Structure 1
Amino acid sequence: MKKIYYLKTCDKCRKILKEMDTSAYILQEIKTEPITVKQLDELYSYTKSYEVLFSKMAKKYKQMDLKNQKLHENDFRQLILDEYTFLKRPIIINETEVLIGNSKKIIPISK
C-alpha cells in the first residue's frame, strides 16, 4: 500500500506533496478525514511507538501543558485520536517503509 497522511493547511506538507509524484498514493487529509483507530494501530506496527507518531510541535501541546506531564504510550495514542494536530505529518507509507514528519533527518522505518 502507498498512502500519505497530510494536512492541507501545513506549508511543509504542501511543499513535500508538490515535489513528489503522488499519483500512485492514496491521500488522506487528516482534518477532513481523521485517522481511525485501525489506521493508527497499523502505523504503530511499523514504529512500535505512538510517541514517534506524536507531534510535540502542535499548538495544543503547549496549550494543554503536556510537556510538564508524564505521558505514556496509551496517552500519545489517545491524544492523536482525539486531536488531528497531534499526528506528526506528513506520514508517507511506501509499501514496506514509513517516513514520518518533515525534518531533514527523516529516517525510513521498515516493516
Structure 2
Amino acid sequence: MKKIYFLKTCNTCVRILKELNPSSEYILQDIKNEPITVKQLEEMKALSGSYESLFSRRAKLYKEMGLKDQKLEEADYKHYLLEHYTFLSRPVTIVENQIFIGNSKKTTEATKLAINA
C-alpha cells in the first residue's frame, strides 16, 4: 500500500507533501474531509506497534480536554484518534509495509528515501 494521511489546511503537511513529491501511485487522504476509518487506524497500528505512536500530544484539544493530566491507555488513544482528526500525528505515510509518522526532519528524510527507493 502507498498512502499518505494528511491535512490540507496544515501548512506543515502541505510543505512536506511538496518536499516528498509522491508519485501518482500514492493515495492522498485529507483526514478532515475523509475521516480515518477503524480499519485504516488498525492498519496503521499494526505497522507502528501502538495507537500511542500515532497520537499527537501537540494537538490543541489534548490540553483543552485535560488529556495531558490523565493516564491514557491504548483504548483511549484509539478512541480519541477516531473521534477527532487533530489527534493524528501528521502526516502519516505508508510505503508498502513501512510507516512514517509525524513531521520531524528525520522522519521526513526517511520518508523521502523510502518513497524514492
Once the two structures are aligned, what percentage of the paired residues are identical? 58
- 1:84 maps to which residue? 85
Q: Find the aligned partners of 1:105 and 1:61 in 2 and give their Cα distance.
A: 24
Give the structure with the larger helix fraction: 2
Q: Which residue of 2 aligns with 1:28?
A: 29
The alpha carbon displacement at 1:52 in A equals 0.3
SS in 2 for 1:3: strand
TM-score under structure 1 normalisation? 0.92
Number of aligned residues: 108
Q: Gaps spanning 5+ residues in structure 1: where?
A: none
The equivalent residue for 1:9 is: 9
Structure 1 position 47, deviation (Å): 1.3
RMSD, aligned α-carbons:
1.2
Matches of 1:96 and 1:69 in 2, distance apart?
33
In terms of mean alpha carbon deviation, does 32-41 or 95-104 score higher? 95-104
Corresponding residue number in structure 2 for 1:99: 100
